[in-house]
Amino acid sequence: MAWGQKLLASDSLISVVFVTGRGDIPSTMLAMKDGAVDFLTKPIDEDAAVPWARYQRLTPREQELLGLLAWGLLNKQAARILGITEYTVQVHRGRIMRR
């Protein structure tokens, strides 16, 4: 496991994805057990990289909101956590869907 994985995985708003040139089953299992959401080996399949490229086009606030929505939070719950109105969450959510 990478030294910072536990630190990152402890923050529920951050997802850990490993990209490696030397992946093996034990390493993959350990990374996933310690909170990684995916484990990709190089060369990365283009189909696997497309969602990441789309995610990178989101603003930091949209990325933050997407993480909350991915956990299944309702708009009003996400709004409360982020300290914004539910209407603002709806606006951000619409932008996320368009991108």
The CA distances from residue 95 to 42, 65, 98, in Å, are 31, 11, 5
Residue span of the structural domain in which 20 resides: 5-44
pLDDT of amino acid 1: 47
The total number of structural domains that make up the chain = 2
Q: Which pTM value belongs to this model?
A: 0.54
pLDDT of 20 above 60 = yes
Asked if residue 20 lies in contact with residue 39, where contact means CB atoms within 8 angstroms, the answer is yes
Q: Tell me the two tokens of residue 49.
A: 């990289």
pLDDT of 5 above 70 = no
Is residue 51 in some structural domain? no
Regarding whether 66 and 33 lie in a shared domain, the answer is: no
Regarding whether 61 and 40 lie in a shared domain, the answer is: no
Is residue 79 in some structural domain? yes
pLDDT tens per residue, range 31-62 = 777 777 777 777 777 776 677 788 888 999 99
The CA distances from residue 45 to 15, 20, 26, 56, 90, in Å, are 19, 13, 21, 17, 33
Q: How far apart are CA 88 and CA 91, in angstroms?
A: 5
